[in-house]
Structure 1
């Protein structure tokens, strides 16, 4: 198979924990681009937390942000696709999280809004965007009612808080929202939850990107390391999971890499194996 497009996850794949990109990955991307194969990004980050990464590897075309909910040109000149929670759905989400009171981070208008309850977790959340706004109360922020809607919500709390809120959101928003919860490995007995509008995933983003670049999804190679990468693994013709990826994520990929995301080098390895570059 002569693959025609490469789509990369950011955190734990392209960007290491210290925020840098391995030199081998950087050089491999430039070699691949020199052959005429475009490179793009598919990430859970907001655009404000993604564009500098795209620029650092020379990506100028569309980027898939917030797990495919926002597809926007790397220079921000054109927004191709936006899917948010708005109106009654946003109001319901606000009501549920206000009742269970986890620390909340509201992704809205390309910034992250939080309050004092979320302060301990802000250093972790800021990887999604450098545009953080600390407000008196997240629940009172006008973004909930803004016509642009809420791009996503990240909540952090005890397992009981998150599990109960997740169950209620699923029951009340049903097919209108995507909800996922997970243990926060760096904090014992702490759980996280991501909520965003249903219908967009990294898989739908790969399908959109393939059409944009004039190839089939079978001609796309993707690289990632986490559960939000599984939809693009299931869509693309060839998929690489980083060494540290959870076992279910590895099983969803066609290939597993020997490189760990903390050290880097996985993107270069994937490019060598898929493109022979």
Structure 2
């Protein structure tokens, strides 16, 4: 674990959303919201770094009173909440997009295209909309997903999610790692309890919660060692390894707890974990 700075030296707080600020019902605890507002009143900057798209992030940002940059899609898209303008975007485009599309077609997977602010699906994806709504509630229908204009757009896709059998998902992940590892990053995961339902998410290389934290810190003229972050899952590891102080939620898996400088006693179900982190990291500021 890294040694923590004195409380008075931290200037920016970065928060994950699902499992950290927001519980399984998508709600934040009053104690956490109040603690964030008090912290901001003391001049500390607050940002959100989440796997959600911006359309699924904005409401939480407004709840916390954030009007600056937030990092969405695990750092692939940074947006200024004040005017909804994109500040940075890492998109899947060009040859990488062509290879990904070809692999999707070969492996007969249900796919979802993540634009900067919406998720595009076709008829095959309709049954899985409750699952993908976690990233954004802005859902748009396309006749055939592999023929959508996003594949050829200059900005590219913020992410692509594919769902299917484990063997098929494994093949597309192998394709990406073999043919496009320099331009894309990919992860596979089970999304239902039986092994027949797996998923993968592909994003352009260069964007993580760690790079987003560095960007937001620089935007405010703050050294990254003067930042604090709170998270609960594996996609939070990049920001935890570079923040000055990092808190793992009480329910976080062991890998996340080991990477953090601190482990919170509070879980998302209990509520108040962010208030606990603020009290421990910023202490006398409140």
Identify the TM-score tier after normalising by the shorter chain.
over 0.9
Residue in 2 that maps onto 1:257 = 264
The range that moved more, 116-125 or 55-64, is 116-125
Q: Deviations over 1:232-254 (max 9, x none)?
A: 00010111111222211111111
Residues 180-230 of structure 1 deviation map (CA, whole Å, 9 limit, x = unaligned): 11222x432122211000011110111111111222111100001111100
> 14, 35, 39: which one pairs with 2:46?
39
In structure 1, the residue matched to 2:194 is 188
Aligned to 2:3: none
Q: 1:132 to 1:262 in 2, by over 3 A?
A: farther
In structure 2, list runs of 5 or more residues that go unmatched. Answer: 1-5
Partners in 1 of 2:83 and 2:52 — Cα distance?
15
Q: Name structure 1 gaps, 5 residues minimum.
A: none
1:66 is aligned, of 62, 69, 73, to 73
Q: Indicate the SS of the match to 1:268.
A: helix
Deviations 1:85-132 (CA, angstroms, capped at 9, x unpaired): 111111111111111122211101411011232222211211211110
State the partner residue of 2:179.
172
Contact 1:85–1:150 (CA<8 Å) still a contact in 2?
Answer: yes
- Cα gap change, 1:57/1:191 in structure 2, threshold over 3 Å: closer, same or farther? same
Paired residue for 1:30?
A: 37
**Deviation of the 1:136 alpha carbon:** 2.4
Q: Secondary structure at the match of 2:181?
A: helix
For residues 107 and 84 of structure 2, what CA distance do their matches in structure 1 show? 39
Q: Identify the residue that residue 117 of structure 2 maps to in structure 1.
A: 110
Q: Distance in 2 between matches of 1:11 and 1:48?
A: 14
Aligned mates of 1:175, 1:262 — CA distance in 2: 39
> In the aligned structure 2, how far is the partner of 1:187 from the partner of 1:13?
23
Alignment RMSD, CA only? 1.3
Which residue pairs with 1:210 in the alignment? 217
Q: 2:278 aligns with which of 265, 268, 271?
A: 271
